[in-house]
Amino acid sequence: MGTYKYIGLIATQQLETPILLSSGSLANGYKLKKVLAHGEAVSNGLAESWYPGVEVVANLSDILEDENIELVVVAGKSHNQLELIRQATEAGKFVRVI
């Protein structure tokens, strides 16, 4: 396969099921690279089981400072959602809120 467009996922609230990429995203070369369970959104162990082969990170900077990540997906609402979006855009990332 060609070059991937990497995604960093920030889960900001309790998730009951994993966030999955659409078939369109996969067809366009997007691939999940890193997951951050922000706050108590999901345990690291559960994130690792939901996203095998994806790096589960402990800090937002692990996603924002990764030059290979183009898109940051913020999943869920939180009191600091706007701050997360601001930091991601200032880091030069595209942002999608779901």
Q: What would the mean pLDDT of 87-92 be, rounded to a whole number?
A: 98
Q: Where are the domains of the chain?
A: 8-97
Burial class (CB in 10 A: 0-12, 13-18, 19+), 24: exposed
8-97, which class in CATH?
Answer: alpha beta
Full-model pTM? 0.86
pLDDT at residue 41, as a whole number: 58
Q: Give residue-wise pLDDT tens across range 17-73.
A: 777 777 677 778 889 999 998 766 567 777 888 888 899 998 999 999 999 999 999
- Residue 89: φ, ψ to 5°: -70, -35
**Which H or E run contains 31?**
strand 30-37
